[in-house]
Amino acid sequence: MKKIIIADATLRVGGAAECAPGFKEKTEIVKALERLGVDVIETAPPVNGKSDILLLHTIAPLAGDRVLSCSLPLDETLIESGWHAISKAKHPRLHLMAPVSAARMEYLCHQKTPAFLETLRKLISKAKGFGAEVEVSLLDATRAEKETLAQAVKVVCEEKADVLTLCDNDGTLLPYEMRDFVAEAAKLLPEKDAPALGVECSNRLHLGFAAAMECVGAGAVQIKCAVAAEDALPLEEIAGFLRAKGRDLDLATSLDLTVAERQIGNITAVLLGNAVPHRKENNAVGEAVQLTPDADIAEIGNAVRQLGYELSVDDLAKVFEEYRRIASKKALGVKDLDAIVAAVAMQVPPTFKLKSFVITSGNAITSMAHVILLRKDEEVQGFSMGDGPIDAAFLSIENVLGIHFELDDFKINAVTEGREAVASAIVRLRSNGKLFSGKGISTDVIGAGIRAYIDALNKIYYDESAK
């Protein structure tokens, strides 16, 4: 059975959205691709300085067992910074994009063929020197001079690159023409220690999928595709074909075809700006919950269920006892009941503890967070940018875990008065449709929010481990 390697270039090509996805959206895309099981996740070149480097640092652990491929132009300084940005990934790859048609070579590299080949050789050697897996994509290969293409392939093989990808950027070859082109190029590869052969077929004529399948027959083992990207081979088409015909054609894939449609739909929604909101309004639910000071346990249980919680009998009894104790002193509302659930229900041994956090925020910069947690005395840390300090902090915790939990609600109130007031935060997280709430208290508003998030997180982990 032949294994087809699926390399997704969604983050590199940017998708078809009117505006490119932001930092948070890109992390969501990486998580969805990891769950889908693509073999390689390609990123865009880190040409925007610190923001791109921070993104690569953030998504490196999120890629999990997938190869994280940092795409790079033929620029020596970017190769070094790209490597340091992805080196913490489990399977890092440096992806050199080398234009080999005369027009692209002179326009992008400002070099003639001999100088270009020397540059290519030097940069492959530098990338290999980091101990990284290296891929070289020959851009516009189908329009290159035969001699130039042959010389470029020779350099790639001599420098021991791991993957060689042939690109039809022009997108005018018919499937059988692309097959013949790849078959001829494959003859240039040595019999031993040859790089894996990949293809990137344009979908300009809506024949990219057919061309890619022809290339597999000609010796290609890696196919590049993307989600909702103009002229790119759609990942959805590859997944659908392998689900329908893969077994019949003796083709294997790492894609989880049972979740392909849902995960690709999630990525498309993020790219097109139609993703599920990170926070949901709960006003309608709150208005429906009616509380009285002398409510019995059945009424409190019904109110808790309307809020979205599924409590055990013991936890419901604790909530009822605390509610009656506080209700004897003052009138309580739905927000108070929510806080009681967070404070007394499902108290569990902590899986995670907060060690430290650093937040950078202001009206002229994007908020950034660095959070360090302790898990069984082992430090784990995450970095992230976000829409404000709280969002950045929560996203950095998600990056520690490599898991996204839906933030159902976030509330914060002052417990005491004055400039040194103590803040109390409530965080509601949803995991697999089930609601968990956490409570945090601190003189720091952000610290209270982080502690509440971790409190809810510990309940999720405890609940999952008990199953």
DSSP string, 85-154: HHTTSSEEEEEEEEE-SHHHIIIII---HHHHHHHHHHHHHHHHHTT-EEEEEEETGGGS-HHHHHHHHH
* Mean pLDDT, rounded, of the chain: 86
* Residue 5 pLDDT > 70: yes
φ/ψ of 166, rounded to 5, equals -100, 125
Reported residue count of the chain is 467
Give every CB contact of residue 399 below 8 A, 6+ residues apart in sequence.
27, 58, 61, 62, 382, 383, 384
What's residue 431's pLDDT?
Answer: 82
Pairing of strands 163-168, 133-139: parallel
Q: What is the pLDDT of residues 186-230, one digit of tens each?
A: 999 999 999 999 999 999 888 999 999 999 999 999 999 999 888
> What's the CA angle centered on 82, arms 78 and 88, to 5 degrees?
165
Q: What is the pLDDT of residues 320-359, one digit of tens each?
A: 888 888 887 777 777 778 778 877 787 788 889 999 999 9
What's residue 275's pLDDT?
Answer: 44
User: Mean pLDDT: which of 49-63, 181-195, 229-243 is highest?
Assistant: 181-195
Q: What is the pLDDT of residues 117-173, one digit of tens each?
A: 999 999 999 999 999 899 999 999 999 999 999 999 999 999 999 999 999 988 889
Confidence bin at 6 (pLDDT 50/70/90): very high
What's residue 286's pLDDT?
Answer: 47
Q: What is the pLDDT of residues 370-400, one digit of tens each?
A: 999 998 888 988 888 877 888 889 988 888 8
What's residue 17's pLDDT?
Answer: 41
What's residue 7's pLDDT?
Answer: 97
* Residue 259 pLDDT > 60: yes
Q: What is the percent of the chain where pLDDT is above 90?
A: 45
Confidence bin at 422 (pLDDT 50/70/90): low
What's residue 130's pLDDT?
Answer: 93
What's residue 273's pLDDT?
Answer: 65
What's residue 416's pLDDT?
Answer: 53
Bridge partners for 136 per DSSP:
96, 164
* Residue 278 pLDDT > 60: no
Closest CA to 381 of 57, 31, 66: 57
What's residue 391's pLDDT?
Answer: 86
Q: Choose the weakest-confidence range: 92-96, 216-220, 254-258, 422-426.
A: 422-426
Residue keyed to tokens 């968990």: 436
Amino acid at the residue 47: V
What does the block give as tokens for 70?
Answer: 């940092």
Confidence bin at 467 (pLDDT 50/70/90): low
More confident site: 283 or 407:
407
- Provide the 10 A C-beta neighbour count for residue 135: 27
Give every CB contact of residue 338 below 8 A, 6+ residues apart in sequence.
307, 409, 411, 426, 428, 437
What's residue 283's pLDDT?
Answer: 44
What's residue 314's pLDDT?
Answer: 82
Residue keyed to tokens 């070859």: 173
More confident site: 149 or 411:
149
What's residue 92's pLDDT?
Answer: 96
d(CA 392, CA 383): 8
Give just the sign of the alpha carbon dihedral 247, 251, 257, 258. positive
Report field, pTM of the whole predicted structure over 0.85 = no
What's residue 135's pLDDT?
Answer: 98
Q: What is the pLDDT of residues 79-127, one digit of tens each?
A: 999 999 999 999 999 999 999 998 888 878 888 999 999 999 999 999 9
What's residue 383's pLDDT?
Answer: 86
